[in-house]
Amino acid sequence: MYKTAEIAYFTMEIAVNEDIPTYSGGLGMLAGDAIRAAADLKVPLVAVSLLYRKGYFFQRVDPREGQREEPVNWIVEDSLTELEPRIHVAIEGREVAVRAWQYLVHGAGGFEIPVLFLDTDLEENSDFDRTLSDVLYGGDSYYRLCQEIVLGMGGVRMLRALGCNGLQRFHMNEGHSSLLTLELLDEHLALRKDGAVMAEDIEAVRKQCVFTTHTPVPAGHDRFPMELATRLLGEHRAFELEEVFVWNGQLNMTYLALSLSHYVNGVAKKHGEISRHMFAEYKVDAITNGVHVATWASDPVMALFDRHIPGWRDDSFNLRYALGIHRSEIQNAHQLAKNQLIDTLNREINAGLDTAVLTLGFARRFATYKRPGLLLHDSERLRQLSREVGALQIVFAGKAHPQDQPGKEEIKHVLDLRETLRPDVKIVFLENYDMAMGRLLTGGVDVWVNTPLPPMEASGTSGMKAALNGVPSLSVLDGWWIEGCIEGVTGWAVGDGQTESGNEHDDGQDAASLYEKLEHDIIPLYYHDKDRFAEIMRHAMALNGSFFNTQRMMLQYVLKAYFI
């Protein structure tokens, strides 16, 4: 496995299964789905991430106080296998020992891809260094840079220690792992006698590296003061190359990855454009994200595929042939998935939901740019729609980053309106949104709602999970939905898509458009024209499921970035 690996995929977070809480949201889900697709396609790849013994956090939600965070308790030994090698990285002059835990991802045909979780919780390390594998996106910039040294530089060393000598490409899934470029440069410099770093050294590293940028939101782009960087990393001779390694006196992980990769991409067509504006001096392509079909299809929908679409696990393009499945079968499979969701919620949290009522879903990280409150912008209008046009119920879920006060306020806002709208619109907020819940929700609601503030949603993926389950989206035209939305065929657009940067986006206008679509299209179809609603479900599944999946995405990485 290690000797034959040709691609190394580096990521700060990854969701490999429901029991391993080493992810915060879309970035980690995407990494997991990418690896699962690579295993289906037998791409010789190995993935590297960090272990987080306390996870991201466990979310509790209290009506008065909003979100509270608790460490997640999980037993590493039960889920992962410890590997033998120990490597060291130098941090501020300390030699920090690192080990790796292995998880094997199995493809549809049995091909295996190892995922390495790097861990510093070893006796020989100081108490502080042992905490470096505690939490994801916690701590200050000192803590974060230490983690990124372990991930980027430690990751390359661990791969070498495991015998990975045939690696052709290093893929940085977002900039957190950019320091791997420094390690590759050191490997290269070690091959010849001492001297300054030359253009050909930089070129040799560039040939090996691939970078995917995932967000236009500034918090997603790590920067460290150069003073901190040199304190932790030492006076590396590469730092003399200011145009590559130093930006405005900072070590900028995004620019580092941009400068040292031969292929760079954004994660949807629109996001590629936005990124070309942000990083005008670089060539930036686009590969639109996807989701892994066998991971996100509900049990009843998997059974439906098994009956009608032979080979769908090996080849997701086959979802196209959902066009030949009778509408009533799609409806029935969906109703079963919906019953599963609602029975679970009623049993476990006494949600009081009704399986016959049109159910909207909104679940993702609670960041302000995702505008979780937009659906509730005019609560009286929503109440009136539910009373007079057709009954509505809404399921919300999602975590706010522990330091994101405005994001936490959004959660409280939803909890407040839950009371206001009782009993006309039943609103449920599910605690601790995770992978298992994501699967239940995206397959079980009737319409998936997404309302980001353009152009901040680079891609978004949960609407893709919904689509392959036959659940259409009602979404703002941003990210993947610009490509996936055919109005009234695969779902519905909120607003008119005039999202060129500079244009003010008005919450009131977007909310009004959303209510219009509910009033004139969605609610009437759902209650009075089941056949046409089912036709839209079928198109969501066939047209969007067959394209917005990670098998297609991984093939594009293979063709454009890995093996060229």
Tokens for 89, please give them.
Answer: 């990285």
Q: How far apart (Å, rounded) are the C-alpha atoms in residues 351 and 349? A: 5
In DSSP terms, 101 is beta-bridged to: 82, 117
Q: How far apart (Å, rounded) are the C-alpha atoms in residues 288 and 460? A: 10
Q: How far apart (Å, rounded) are the C-alpha atoms in residues 360 and 338? A: 11
266 near ligand PLP, rule: CB under 6 A: no
Indicate the residue whose CB is closest to ligand PLP.
438
Report the residue number, 29 or 45, with the smaller CB distance to ligand PLP.
29
Least distance (Å) between residue 291 CB and ligand PLP: 7
Q: What angle do CA 507, 511, 512 make, to 5 degrees?
A: 120
Least distance (Å) between residue 461 CB and ligand PLP: 4
Report the residue number, 29 or 391, with the smaller CB distance to ligand PLP.
29
Build a one-symbol-per-residue string for 78-97: x at contacts with ligand PLP by CB under 6 A, - elsewhere.
--------------------
494 membership: H or E segment, kind and range: strand 491-494
Report the residue number, 208 or 550, with the smaller CB distance to ligand PLP.
550
Report the residue number, 252 or 298, with the smaller CB distance to ligand PLP.
298
Least distance (Å) between residue 217 CB and ligand PLP: 12
Report the residue number, 261 or 550, with the smaller CB distance to ligand PLP.
550
Report the residue number, 26 or 470, with the smaller CB distance to ligand PLP.
26
Report the residue number, 29 or 72, with the smaller CB distance to ligand PLP.
29
Least distance (Å) between residue 464 CB and ligand PLP: 8
Q: How far apart (Å, rounded) are the C-alpha atoms in residues 528 and 522? A: 10
Least distance (Å) between residue 436 CB and ligand PLP: 9
Q: How far apart (Å, rounded) are the C-alpha atoms in residues 375 and 494? A: 11
Least distance (Å) between residue 156 CB and ligand PLP: 28
Sign of CA dihedral 234, 237, 242, 243: negative
Query: Which residue's entry shows tokens 């657009």?
Result: 493
Total chain residues near ligand PLP (CB under 6 A): 12
Report the residue number, 134 or 434, with the smaller CB distance to ligand PLP.
434
Tell me the residue ranges of DSSP E strands in 330-444. Answer: 358-363, 392-397, 426-430
Least distance (Å) between residue 456 CB and ligand PLP: 11
Query: Among 111, 28, 130, which Cα is nearest to 399's?
Result: 28
Report the residue number, 300 or 460, with the smaller CB distance to ligand PLP.
460
Least distance (Å) between residue 26 CB and ligand PLP: 3
Report the residue number, 267 or 525, with the smaller CB distance to ligand PLP.
267
The three-state (H, E, C) secondary structure of 17-31, written as one string: CCCCCCCCCHHHHHH
Build a one-symbol-per-residue string for 20-49: x at contacts with ligand PLP by CB under 6 A, - elsewhere.
-----xx--x--------------------
Least distance (Å) between residue 347 CB and ligand PLP: 21
DSSP 328-359: HHHHHHHHHHHHHHHHHHHHHH-----TTSEE
- Scanning 72-80, 136-144, 276-284, 456-464 for contacts with ligand PLP by CB under 6 A, the matching segment is 456-464
Least distance (Å) between residue 21 CB and ligand PLP: 10
Q: How far apart (Å, rounded) are the C-alpha atoms in residues 252 and 388? A: 54
Build a one-symbol-per-residue string for 306-345: x at contacts with ligand PLP by CB under 6 A, - elsewhere.
----------------------------------------
Tokens for 38, please give them.
Answer: 């690579």
Q: Spell out the residues 6+ positions from residue 447 whose beta carbon is closer than 8 angstroms to its own.
A: 358, 359, 360, 361, 471, 472, 473, 474, 491, 522, 526
Give the footprint of ligand PLP on residues 404-443 (CB under 6 A): 433-435, 438
Count of Cβ atoms closer than 10 Å to residue 127 Cβ: 6
Report the residue number, 433 or 515, with the smaller CB distance to ligand PLP.
433
DSSP 182-234: HHHHHHHHHTS-S----HHHHHHHHHHEEEE---SSGGGS-EEEHHHHHHHH-
Least distance (Å) between residue 434 CB and ligand PLP: 5
Least distance (Å) between residue 377 CB and ligand PLP: 19
Give the footprint of ligand PLP on residues 457-486 (CB under 6 A): 460-462, 465
Phi, psi of 75 (to 5 degrees): -105, 105
Report the residue number, 154 or 444, with the smaller CB distance to ligand PLP.
444
Query: Among 425, 411, 426, 436, which Cα is nearest to 62's?
Result: 411
How would you label 367-397 residue by residue, b for 16+ Cβ within 10 Å and e otherwise? bbbbbbbbbbbbbebbbebbeebbbbbbbbb
Give the footprint of ligand PLP on residues 357-386 (CB under 6 A): 364
- Which residues form the interface with ligand PLP (CB under 6 A)? 25-26, 29, 364, 433-435, 438, 460-462, 465
